[in-house]
Chains A and B, each alone.
Chain A
Amino acid sequence: MPLQIAVCIKPVPDSKYYDKISIDPKTKTWDRSGIPMVIGDLDKNALEAALVLREKFQGKISVFSMAPEFTREVMVQALAMGADEAFLLSDRSFAGADTLATSYTLASAIKKAGNFDLVLTGNESDDGSTGQVSPQLGEWLGFPHLMNVVHLDFDGELLYVDTLAETGIYHYQVKLPAVIAVTRKVNKPRLIGVMGLMKAKAKPLNLWTAADLGADANRLGLKGSPTQPGDMVSPDTNRKAERIDGSPEDIADRIIVELRKAGIIG
C-alpha cells in the first residue's frame, strides 16, 4: 500500500551561530539577521523515517511548516533531502502562535492538502523544545499519537512503535492514520547532495496563507493562543565566579581542597 506521509518541520537558526543571536527585551523578538536557518535536528530524523518508508512502500512525502516566508530555503532543503512537495504556511495572522495555535494551523493544512496515512514530526524543536506540537497535532487530527519514539517499523498494515520511558522501552502496535514523534535514536538522517538540490528546484513548493487553509481565524496566531508571553527574566544565579589560575597541578590541587571541604573526599 503506497503511503501518503506528512512530515512537519521547523526552521531554526543554525546552532553554529547560536552565540551571535541577540534578543531585544523590549519587543521580545530575536535578532536573527545574517544567521542561516536550517531544518531542525530531529525534523531530519522524521523526514528520514518518511524516506525509508517510501522506499519500501512507495507513496508520497509532503513537508509542512508554519514559518515566515524568508525560511523558504529550509523547505528547499527538505525537498533536496527527498520530499516530494512542500507547504510553507506563512501569514501575518499566524504570528504569536503558541503550541495549540501552531498545531491547529498545521493540522488545518494537513487536512486540506490530502488524505494522509501518517504524520511524522521531531520529538521537540531545537529552540522551543516544548515537545507539545506533535501530540496536539494528533488531537486536532483525531489520530492516535505517540512520542519519544526510538524505533519505527511498518508491515504494510500496522506500525510497530517503540517508545522510551523511565523504566524501559514500551512496544506498541498502531493502526494508521497516526502521528508519530521521533527521537534521534530512530535513524541517521541522510546528507543533502548536489543532485538532491538540483531536483528540489523542480518540485512543488506551495506558499499557503490563512485563506488557503480555510481555517477558523479565531484559532490562529496570538488570537488562538491560550498562553501569552509576559516579562523576560535573566537567569539569575548569583555566584561569584572566583577565578583560579595556575598550572594544571595547582588547579587540580585546588579542586581537591574544595572536594575535601565539601566532604566528598576524606
Chain B
Amino acid sequence: MESSDNTYRILVFAEIIDNTIARNSHELLGEANRMKKCIKKSVEVIAAFIGNDVHAFADMAIKYGADTCVIFNNTNLEHYRSDCYGDALAKIVKKLQPEIVLIGATFFGSEIAPTVAAKLQTGLAAHCTELKIDNNERFIQVVPAFGGKVLGEIITPVHRPQMASVKPGIMTSLYDEKRTGQIAYFSEELSDFGDRIKFAGITPVKASGKPLHEADCIIGGGYGIGSRENWEVLTKIAALLNGATGCTRPALDEGWTTGEQTMIGTSGVAVRPKVYINAGISGAAHHTCGIKEAGLVISINKDENAPIFNSSDIKIVADWKKVLPVLLEKLNQLNDAGSLK
C-alpha cells in the first residue's frame, strides 16, 4: 500500500449496491486485469471500498480480480453523501497514486468521479465504451463524441491519475474462486463537512420488469414509437417472450418507459441479449454502442437510410405500426396453443 515503489497501479472504486459489489464495479476489476496484460511493469489492481463496515465484501472483490482491497471505513460514510464519498476516494487516490482510476458510472459513481477529478486536478473521460493501452503504454479512452455521432479517443498526457467512468454492461467480469489478495485498512481521517449535506432517508424503489442484463430477448423502442399507448405493444411482446423492453434517451425523456434502468446505450446500460428487436430507433452511436455485444439485431424503421441499420443483422424497412401488432397477434396465437414453451 505504499506509493513510492515501482508498481503500476490501477484503482477501481468498488461500490456496494443492494448489499453486494455493484456489477459495474466487478466488470471494471475484470477490465483492469485485461489491461494489466498490456503493461510491462508489475501491475497491482486495487479495489477501493468506501462505507461503514464494508470489509465483508473484500474477499469477493479479490475473486473478481483485485490484488489488494483498500477499505475506508467511517460512520459518516454509512449513507452516500457526495462530499464525504468524494473526500474519501480522493484521499485514497492521493495516497496510493495509481496511474489509472476506473469508476462505474452508476448514479453515485457519476458524481464521485468528477468530484475526485476536480479535487486532484486531473482528467476524466465520461462513459467510455472502450479502454486501451497502446504500444507505448499510453492509456486511451474511447468516448462518444459529437452527440454520439462518432467515437473519439481521449488521452490525459500529463496529469495523473488518468480517470475514466464506464457504464454497466460495457466491460466483462472475471471470477476466479482461487484468486488470492491482500486487504488493508485506510487510516486517514475523513474531512469534517459538518451538516451542510444531511442525509434524511431513502425511499426504496423496486425496479419493475425484468432487468435488461437478465433478458435473452430485448424489445427496444425509440422516439419513433410516438406515445405511451403505442409503447404497450412492445411491453406485450416482451412479456410473451419472457424478455424486457429497452429504450433510447428520447423515449425515456417522453416518459413512455418505466425508468432510467431501461435505457440502452452509453448514458444507459450496454446489453447483450441473444436477440434485440427494435423499432422507431434512428441509431445514434449513443444507443448503438450499447448493443455491440447483442446476438441478433433486428431493426424496424421507416427510413431505409436510418443509421440503426448499420448496426443490424436484419433490416426491415417498414412502419412498425404495421409489423409489430401482427407479430404480437401471432405470438399470442402460439402462446394460446401452448407452443411458446
Contacts and interface: CB of A to CB of B under 8 A. Distances in A.
A169 interface: yes
Nearest to B327: A252
Interface stretch (B37-45, B54-62, B124-132): B124-132
A135 B115 contact: yes
A70 interface: no
A227 B155 contact: yes
Given A167-B18, A233-B142, A256 B197 contact: no
B196 A252 contact: no
A230 B155 contact: yes
A239 interface: yes
A174 B80 contact: no
Contacts of A145: 82-83, 111, 115
A135 B203 contact: no
A124 to B, nearest CB: 7
Contact of A41 (B118, B121, B253): B253
Contacts of B79: 170
A244 interface: yes
Nearest to A229: B152
A155 interface: no
Contacts of A253: 330
Interface in A9-39: 13, 18-19, 21, 23, 25, 28, 30
Contacts of A227: 123-125, 154-156
Contacts of B297: 239
Chain A CB within 10 Å — which of B18, B123, B242 has the most? B123
Interface string B60-94: 00000000000000000001111100100000000
B316 interface: yes
A55 interface: no
B110 to A, nearest CB: 5
Interface string B149-162: 11111111111000
A248 to B, nearest CB: 4
Given A168-B202, A172-B199, A242-B314, A132 B124 contact: yes
Interface string A38-58: 000100000000000000000
Chain B CB within 10 Å — which of A232, A234, A266 has the most? A232
B111 A239 contact: no
B260 interface: yes
Contact of B147 (A126, A140, A164, A256): A126
Interface residues of B, number: 102
Interface stretch (A95-103, A191-199, A205-213): A95-103
A174 B200 CA distance: 10
B313 A241 contact: yes
B197 A146 contact: yes
Contacts of A23: 146, 149-150
A259 interface: yes
Given A136-B117, A175-B196, A262 B274 contact: yes
B82 A103 contact: no
B111 A242 contact: no
Interface in A217-266: 225-235, 237, 239-245, 248-249, 251-256, 258-259, 262-266
Interface string B235-253: 0000001110000000001
User: Do most interface residues of chain A lie in helix, strand or loop, or is the interface mixed?
Assistant: mixed
Given A132-B117, A252-B323, A127 B155 contact: no
Contacts of B152: 28, 229-233
Contacts of B145: 229, 232
A41 B326 CA distance: 36
Contacts of B310: 235, 237, 239, 241
B298 to A, nearest CB: 6
B327 A256 contact: yes
A265 B341 contact: yes
A174 B195 CA distance: 8
B271 interface: no
Nearest to A12: B147
Interface in B268-298: 274-275, 277, 282, 284-286, 288-289, 292, 295-298
Given A135-B114, A264-B243, A170 B202 contact: yes
A189 interface: no
B18 to A, nearest CB: 6
Given A170-B199, A172-B198, A227-B125, A233 B151 contact: yes
B179 interface: no
Contacts of B155: 227-228, 230
A18 B147 contact: yes
Given A163-B107, A256-B334, 5 more contacts: A135-B114, A170-B80, A239-B311, A243-B317, A258-B275
Interface of A: 13, 18-19, 21, 23, 25, 28, 30, 41, 98-100, 103, 124, 126-136, 138-140, 144-148, 160, 163-175, 178, 184, 225-235, 237, 239-245, 248-249, 251-256, 258-259, 262-266
Closest 6 CB pairs of A and B: A266-B341, A226-B123, A230-B153, A130-B126, A139-B118, A227-B123
